[in-house]
Each structure stands twice: as structure tokens, then as C-alpha cells.
């Protein structure tokens, strides 16, 4: 059943949020989007950190530990994958963005507590990969009957290669954090594609619109994530030469 | 360290989660309840600031 009035209301709500929050952040940001810093640019990252900071304080004040947030993030990612598999695209997109926020929260909490450690960084990275795996698995189930499945596989491969090239480089003593499409950008493209696809489908009362817009986001992730992995590989090869 | 709960962020989270529950699963009452709870938190945040 389609809900065009609710979709219009939610679109308006998101429009107000973007106008009030994101537009000033982009205008007064301290950095443009670039090949090295990522598509989102410094302004949006600074805005996001400022928004997350009160949450970090509130959670630490009530005694929540960073490890607990990491565990909740994994749970949210699994729920997100489940939502994609059930074709609940708006909920899945929102859970994806929530999981991305929790991913930032645990690291920020550990740093504020002075408890940032190699163990924590390792657990966080492993949890992130399992979380991403659950999300891409859900997307694969959603697109199992069409060519969208190949796009999901290409996007998943690119996403894992972005992480792998950095981890392998660090294993060889080379730090490489450059990249056009890093994890926050992936979350925004796939999550945004899910949210706006679902809203478009309800506004037009045409369910196919949702998958079409989500596939467009996934095509962008597939192309840009693999380009980022190659960008990192090239940078690491140059440093090792 | 602040004990002030960030009602605004939680409000936006609940409003959009509720909207998703209605749009995706057609659970109007459950989604509506989440949206109302989020709206109350947003109103509290607006009163506070």
C-alpha cells in the first residue's frame, strides 16, 4: 500500500533538516570534497562530529562503554540486512545511516575516555566488516532475481577492497587513508538511495521506483569504491617502490 | 561531561524510524507511535534551546 501524503511529509521534514543543518555546514565548511579526502568534504565531516559530540558525552555520562556501542552497531547492521532482505527499503536505509553513526560514536567515546587501543581498533574493524557483510547479504537477497545482484556483488567487492588495500598497506608499514569513496560516503550513497527511492516509490505509487533509485546508488558505489581501491593500491605501490 | 540528553538527535531518529515502519511494513499504529514519541522529543529540544 502506498502512503503518498506521509512520503511527502517525510520529504518535507528531510528538506527542512538539510536546509537548516547541512547547507550551512557545506557553505562554512573547512574543506572541499577532494580525491584524497572523500566526496563528503571537510565541512560535512566537521558538522557530523559536532552533532555526534553531545551523544558521546551523554552515553559516557550514563556509563555506556565503547564496546557496547560496537556490539549494538553490529546488531543494527544485521537488522539493516534483514530489512533489505524483506524489501523494507526506507527502514533499511535509516538503519544503515544509524549504524554508520554508531561506528563513529564508539571510536569517539574510546578517544574521550583515553581508552583507544590496538585491541579496540581491531575489534572495531572486524565488527565493521561483519556488519557490512550482513548489509550486502541483505541487498543480495533483495536483488536476487535481477541484474541488480551483479551490481551488489561489485559494490561489495569494491567496499571490501577499499578496506583490504589499507589494511595490507599498513601491514607492510605504509599508511594510506586517501580515497574518494570511503565508508561514510558508501553509507550516504546506499542509505540515501534507499531513503529517497522509497519516498519516490510512495510519492509515485510505483514500487519499481525504489529499487531503480537504490540500484543507481549501488552503481555509483560499485564504480567509485573499486576506483578508490585502485587509487589506494597505486599510492601504496608508489610508496613501496 | 554533559548529562544533557540530545533530544533533537533522538527525536529525528524516532520520527524517521516510525515513518519507515509505516511506509515499509504498513504498521500504521506502531509507526505512528514512534513518530509521535520523536515529535515530543523534538518539541522538548525546541523548548530547551
Could you read off the pLDDT of A134-155 as tens digits, one per residue? 999 999 999 999 999 999 999 9
Number of other CB atoms surrounding residue A221 within 10 Å: 26
pLDDT score recorded for residue A241: 85
Name the residue of chain B whose CA is nearest to A3's CA: B23
CB contacts < 8 A (A, B): 62
The string of pLDDT tens digits covering residues A53-66 is 888 988 899 889 99
Average pLDDT score, chain A: 90
pLDDT score recorded for residue A41: 67
Burial A192-215 (b: 16+ CB within 10 A, else e): bbbbbbbbbbbbeeeeebbbebbb
pLDDT score recorded for residue A29: 57
ipTM, interface predicted TM-score of the complex: 0.89
Instruction: Kindly give, in sequence order, each residue whose CB lies less than 8 Å from that of residue A96, ignoring residues fewer than 6 positions away.
Output: A77, A80, A135, A187, A190, A191, A194
pLDDT score recorded for residue A55: 87
The string of pLDDT tens digits covering residues A78-108 is 999 999 999 999 999 999 999 999 998 988 8
Region B25-42: mean pLDDT is: 95
Burial A151-188 (b: 16+ CB within 10 A, else e): bbbbbbbbbbbbbebbeebeeeebebebbbbbbbbbbb
- Asked whether residue B2 carries a pLDDT value surpassing 70, the answer given is no
The string of pLDDT tens digits covering residues A174-189 is 988 888 888 888 999 9
The string of pLDDT tens digits covering residues A9-62 is 999 999 998 888 777 766 665 555 555 566 666 677 777 888 788 889 888 998
- Asked whether residue A205 carries a pLDDT value surpassing 70, the answer given is yes
Instruction: Kindly give, in sequence order, each residue whose CB lies less than 8 Å from that of residue A110, ignoring residues fewer than 6 positions away.
Output: A66, A116, A117, A120
Q: What is the pTM of this model?
A: 0.90
Question: Which residue among A6, A57, A58 sits closest to B23, beta carbon to beta carbon?
Answer: A6
Q: Which three cell numbers stand for residue B11?
A: 527525536
Q: How far is CA B45 from CA A115, B4, B12, B39, in A?
A: 31, 11, 11, 10
- Could you tell me the pLDDT band of residue B36, with boundaries at 50, 70 and 90? very high
| Contact at CB, A91 and B22, closer than 8 angstroms | no
Whole-number Å distance between alpha carbons of A99 and A82 = 14
pLDDT score recorded for residue A23: 74
| Contact at CB, A58 and B26, closer than 8 angstroms | no
- Rg (alpha carbons) of chain A, rounded to whole number: 18
| Contact at CB, B20 and A1, closer than 8 angstroms | no
Amino acid at each position: 500500500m502506498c502512503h503518498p501524503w506521509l512520503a511527502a511529509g517525510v520529504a518535507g521534514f528531510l528538506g527542512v533538516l538539510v536546509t537548516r543543518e547541512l547547507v550551512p555546514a557545506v557553505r562554512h565548511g573547512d574543506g572541499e570534497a577532494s580525491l584524497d579526502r572523500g566526496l563528503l568534504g571537510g565541512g560535512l565531516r566537521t558538522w557530523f562530529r559536532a552533532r555526534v559530540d553531545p551523544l558521546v558525552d551523554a552515553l559516557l555520562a550514563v556509563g555506556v562503554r565503547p564496546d557496547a556501542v560496537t556490539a549494538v552497531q553490529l546488531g543494527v547492521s544485521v537488522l539493516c540486512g534483514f530489512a533489505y532482505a524483506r524489501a523494507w527499503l526506507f527502514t533499511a536505509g535509516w538503519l544503515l545511516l544509524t549504524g554508520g553513526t554508531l561506528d563513529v560514536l564508539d571510536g569517539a567515546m574510546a578517544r574521550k575516555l583515553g581508552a583507544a587501543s590496538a585491541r579496540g581498533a581491531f575489534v572495531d574493524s572486524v565488527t565493521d566488516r561483519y556488519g557490512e557483510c550482513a548489509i550486502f547479504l541483505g541487498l543480495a537477497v533483495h536483488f536476487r532475481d535481477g541484474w541488480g545482484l551483479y551490481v551488489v556483488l561489485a559494490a561489495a567487492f569494491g567496499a571490501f577492497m577499499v578496506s583490504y588495500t589499507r589494511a595490507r598497506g599498513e601491514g607492510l608499514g605504509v599508511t594510506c587513508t586517501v580515497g574518494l569513496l570511503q565508508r561514510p560516503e558508501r553509507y550516504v550513497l546506499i542509505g540515501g538511495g534507499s531513503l529517497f527511492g522509497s519516498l519516490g516509490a510512495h510519492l509515485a505509487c510505483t514500487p519499481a521506483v525504489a529499487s531503480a533509485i537504490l540500484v543507481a546508488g549501488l552503481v555509483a558505489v560499485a564504480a567509485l569504491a573499486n576506483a578508490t581501491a585502485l587509487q589506494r593500491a597505486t599510492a601504496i605501490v608508489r610508496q613501496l617502490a | 561531561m554533559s548529562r544533557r540528553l540530545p533530544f533533537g538527535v533522538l527525536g529525528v531518529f524516532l520520527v524517521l524510524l516510525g515513518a519507515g515502519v509505516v511506509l515499509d511494513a504498513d504498521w500504521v499504529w506502531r509507526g505512528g507511535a514512534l513518530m509521535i514519541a520523536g515529535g515530543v522529543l523534538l518539541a522538548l529540544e525546541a523548548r530547551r534551546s
